[in-house]
Every structure is written in structure tokens, then in C-alpha cells.
């Protein structure tokens, strides 16, 4: 397994954050928030794995980057429901799963490939469960998950993905320790023709620990 250490040898002192963390974070960028959450909740982390690496927008440091798409995998091509790591070997897992429900064939190929559960395959809930059980297996004692999630509307009905994920983690024996709401300057999508729910322009970063907070 690759040996990936923090830029300061894994010793990131509490209080030396690139951003002052509050419960609401307003920015397009994820990396400063992720760095702050690691400094706050896992300052001595050495083995950091991004299980949904994609374009690497979480990072300004070197990490083990996993993606099931070989063109987007930074280090290893693998699925986050079958992580190629031994038990109790990882300090931090980052998780940014597809946010858009399986509501039919994606209208736009690029959005479908990056943000949608592929049409006709597993649901978001099924894939989240697969990740949660892998997190229980591969995290070291007191290791953490940093998950980026977003509630969605599917067929006119609200889907509470953030709450579902937190409940799954608690049921699996993990502890939900912290939450930060990231607000975008504007929503990613075009306005609806008919509005039935408030227009979502935020996501949640949830910190979960294998142990007590």
C-alpha cells in the first residue's frame, strides 16, 4: 500500500488552520475546508485515502486517490464499496459519492458520469451502505471519515441523503462528530420550470469517527 504522509510529517497542530472553521463555509473551493477538518479532527493522520478522487478538488497535498473510473483514478482504480486496503490501516477516508438519484437516463453525459448513480444500477442508499461497512473495516481506531453529501429532490420528493448517511454510520457503530454546511454562490443547476421545494445551493461535510468524539 502506498505510504502517504502529511506535508509536515503528519503533525498538523490544532489551531494552525488555513481557514477559521465555523458551521457555515461559503466558497466554491473544497480543499481549504477539508484541510481544516483534518487538522481539527485528525491532526496526526498519515494514511489519507480519497475514495472518490475524481478531479482531486479536495486536496492541495498528496493523498491516495481512488476512483472506479481509470481515467480519474489518481493512485488506484477501485470501487469505494470494495477498498483494496487491509483492516484497520487508514487514518482518514474522504467520501464524495454521487449526489443525483437514479431518476432515469442522465440528460447530460458529463453530469451523468460524475454525479449520477448509473441508470438501472444500484441506488445511492445501497452504495452508501457499501462504503460505510468498508469504512468500519479499514479505518484505524479513532480514524475518521470526511463525507461531502447533498440532499436532493427526486420526482418531486425530497431525499434526505445527509440524514440517511449519518443514521447509517451510527447504526454501523461509528460516531458522527461534526458537520459543516458549505454554501455555493449559486446553485449548480438551471432553475426548475415548476418549483415545489426550496432551491438547494449547499452541501454538508460530515465528520464520522471510528471511536468516540
Q: Which of 80, 53, 54 is nearest to 64 (CA)?
A: 53
Which residues lie below 8 Å from residue 22, measured CB to CB, with a gap of 6+? 180
- Region of 155 (left: φ > 0; alpha: ψ -120 to 50; beta: rest) is left
SS (H, E, C) the chain: CCCCCCCCCCCCCCCCCCCCCCCEEECCCCHHHHHHHHHHHCCCCCCEEECCCCCCCCCCCCCEEEECCCCCCCCEECCCCCCCCCCCCEEEEEECCCCECCCCCCCCHHHHHHHECCCCCCCHHHHHHHHHHHHHHHEEEEEEEEEEECCEEECCEEECHHHHHHHHHHHCCCEEEEEEEEECCCCCCCCCCCCCCCCCCEEEEEEEECCCC
What are the residue ranges spanned by the domains of the chain? 24-209
Question: Whole-angstrom Cα distance, residue 158 to residue 105?
Answer: 19
Tell me the CATH class for 24-209. Answer: alpha beta
Please, are residues 166 and 176 in contact by the beta-carbon 8 Å criterion?
yes
Give me the phi and psi of 77, to 5 degrees please. Answer: -90, 115
Say how many C-beta atoms besides its own lie within 10 A of residue 88's C-beta: 13
Tens-digit pLDDT profile for residues 187-197:
655 555 666 66
pTM for the model: 0.79
Tens-digit pLDDT profile for residues 127-182:
899 999 999 999 999 999 999 998 876 666 777 889 999 999 999 999 999 999 99
- What average pLDDT does this structure show over 199-206? 84
pLDDT at 35: 94
Tens-digit pLDDT profile for residues 28-63:
899 999 999 999 999 999 999 999 999 999 999 999
pLDDT at 189: 59
Amino acid at each position: 500500500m502506498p505510504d502517504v504522509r502529511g506535508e509536515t510529517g503528519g503533525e498538523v497542530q490544532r489551531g494552525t488552520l488555513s481557514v477559521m472553521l465555523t458551521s457555515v463555509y461559503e466558497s466554491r473551493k473544497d480543499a481549504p475546508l477539508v484541510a481544516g477538518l483534518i487538522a481539527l479532527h485528525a491532526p496526526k493522520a498519515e494514511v489519507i485515502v480519497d475514495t472518490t478522487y475524481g478531479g482531486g478538488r479536495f486536496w492541495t497535498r498528496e493523498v491516495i486517490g481512488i476512483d472506479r473510473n481509470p481515467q480519474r483514478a489518481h493512485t488506484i482504480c477501485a470501487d469505494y464499496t470494495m477498498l483494496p486496503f487491509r483492516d484497520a490501516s487508514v487514518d482518514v477516508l474522504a467520501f464524495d459519492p454521487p449526489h443525483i438519484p437514479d431518476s432515469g437516463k442522465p440528460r447530460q453525459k458529463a453530469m451523468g458520469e460524475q454525479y449520477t448513480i448509473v441508470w438501472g444500477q444500484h441506488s445511492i442508499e445501497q452504495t452508501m451502505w457499501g462504503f460505510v461497512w468498508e469504512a468500519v473495516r479499514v479505518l484505524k481506531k479513532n480514524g475518521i471519515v470526511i463525507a461531502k453529501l447533498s440532499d436532493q429532490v427526486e420526482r418531486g420528493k425530497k431525499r434526505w441523503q445527509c440524514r440517511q448517511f449519518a443514521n447509517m454510520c451510527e447504526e454501523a457503530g461509528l460516531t458522527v462528530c461534526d458537520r459543516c454546511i458549505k454554501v455555493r454562490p449559486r446553485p449548480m443547476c438551471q432553475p426548475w420550470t415548476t418549483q415545489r421545494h426550496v432551491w438547494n445551493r449547499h452541501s454538508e461535510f460530515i465528520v464520522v469517527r471510528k471511536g468516540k468524539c
